[in-house]
Structure 1
Amino acid sequence: MDLLQALLSFAVVAGLLTLVPGIDTALVLRSSISRSRSFAFATALGINTGTMVWGIAAAVGVSALLAASELAYRALTLAGAGYMIWLGASLLWKSRATAPAAGLADVPGPALPGRQLFRGWLTGTGSNLLNPKVGVFYIATIPQFIPAGTPPLLMGVLLAGVHCVLGLAWSTFLIYGVGLASRWLKGAGSVKIIDRITGTVLVGFGLRLALEPSH
């Protein structure tokens, strides 16, 4: 298997993983619906920043430590679970308000201050980095796609880059798809429903992480 074959083969695996609905999809959709297009793209960039970090970490062996060390894996799992539950609970609590917070649904993307965009990026990055399953995925797959004689670090960067391109393409599709239906989706009632659904998904995902048996 040469370099091009390895990248194409990995693209098929990563593409299928990207299309499976999960926490990343929920965060991008929620950001696009209740915030703005710019905030959603910042969140998507954060998610893919985490993907790149995990890919590099797997290539240099950090993720291998997670896969081998029960304590390290469990600590990261609990941290990630706590983060997901906190995010979800915050959304559920906010959805109890009689009206959506001012400036969330109707602020144009370019007008968002840098601090808000950074918050979106940080949310996406945190949700990805605190999900040990991403690290385990990379440590399980990257060795299978490293051609003989190719530096592991370089291959880790390239494979994670492929995953990021696919992830950004899917996020772009979701964000612009929401834009086409924005009149309905950005109504006060719809935002509440989306916040409750996303919050429930986040809390459920966090509880599942916290309660799952040790690997």
Structure 2
Amino acid sequence: MIDSSAVASVFSIYAAGVVIPGPNFVAVAHKAVSGRRSDTLALVAGIVTVNLFWATCAIFGIGMVFAIFPWLAVAIKLAGAAYLIWFGLRLVVSARAGDAAVHHVSKSPIFRGAFLQGIATNIANPKSIAFYAAVFSSATPAHVSTPTFFAMLVTVCVTATCWYGAVALVLSHSAIATAYRRMKAWIDRACGCVIVALGIRQAFR
């Protein structure tokens, strides 16, 4: 039997957390305005896949693992921060150089470049790791039945897909994409600086 109260608790916690802008949101927004809609949806699929992975870990007690091995949490946090800083700097440099690097990413075939970019962005996202290890895991019971476990994962999948999918569809609209092309260099620099700032912030928290 599905524990509806546990599923509702997970939904309320996750819905509140997923809409807070972070590296995932910036990556989806940038891909939506700079690349093809199909590639943006592939990036969203990568992000959702990692969300399911972290949700599974949280349900099975990843917070306890980090409590026992605090060095592991620090190592993951620093590695994720380093990736975000590298990714943000690449956007800034590519904006100055023309758009070669970002153009190359935006033309990657669906479920190859864009999907892997979504996975890399989310799995290296310290905000996601901290959220699932501390907040999400506290909302889940110590022991859940198999139906409840899958219901929680479906809740995470549907919520993340709807939110990031909506962002992707709205920002990939032709009018918005046209406006982006007129201000591409400035938007790329702004997105890059935001991601770098998020990486630095996470590294020193």
How big is the alpha-carbon RMSD for the aligned residues of Structure 1 and Structure 2?
2.7
What's the secondary structure of 1:96's corresponding residue? helix
One of 173, 176, 182 as aligned partner of 2:166:
173
- Cα drift, residue 103 of structure 1: 9.5
TM-score normalised by L of structure 1: 0.81
- How far apart, in 2, do the equivalents of 1:46 and 1:10 lie? 21
CA contact (8 A) 1:78 1:210 kept: yes
1:120-152 CA deviation, whole Å, 9 max, x = no partner?
111211222223442342243335333x8633x
Query: Following the alignment from structure 1 to structure 2, what is the Cα–Cα distance between the partners of residues 13 and 199?
Result: 29
CA distance in 1, matches of 2:143, 2:82: 41
The alpha-carbon deviation at position 89 of structure 1 amounts to 0.5
CA displacement, residues 87-133 of structure 1 (integer Å, 9 cap, x when unaligned):
000000000024x349949x8xxxx664x541211121122222344
State the aligned residue count.
201
How is 1:141-180 mapped onto 2 (pairs within 5 angstroms)? 141-146=136-141, 150-151=144-145, 155-180=148-173
Runs of at least 4 residues of structure 1 off by over 6 A?
none
The 1:32/1:14 distance shift into structure 2, 3 A limit, reads same
- The code of the aligned residue for 1:50 comes to V
Residue 22 of structure 1: aligned partner:
22
Aligned to 1:128: 122
Equivalent position amino acid for 1:211 in 2:
F
Please name the residue that 2:60 is paired with.
60
Cα offset, 1:37, TM superposition: 0.7
| Aligned-partner SS, 1:150 | coil
TM normalised by structure 2 equals 0.84
Which residue does the alignment assign to 1:84? 84
2:185 to 185, 192, 207: 192
Percentage identity across paired residues of the two chains = 26
The CA deviation at 1:6 is 2.1
Distance 1:88 1:7 in 2: 35
Deviation, 1:39, is 1.3
Q: CA deviation digits over 1:7-55, x for unaligned, max 9?
A: 2232122112122111111000101111111111111111111111111
For structure 1, the 5+ residue unaligned runs are none
* Cα separation, partners in 2 of 1:62 and 1:14, compared to 1, 3 Å: closer
Compute the displacement of 1:183 (Å): 4.8
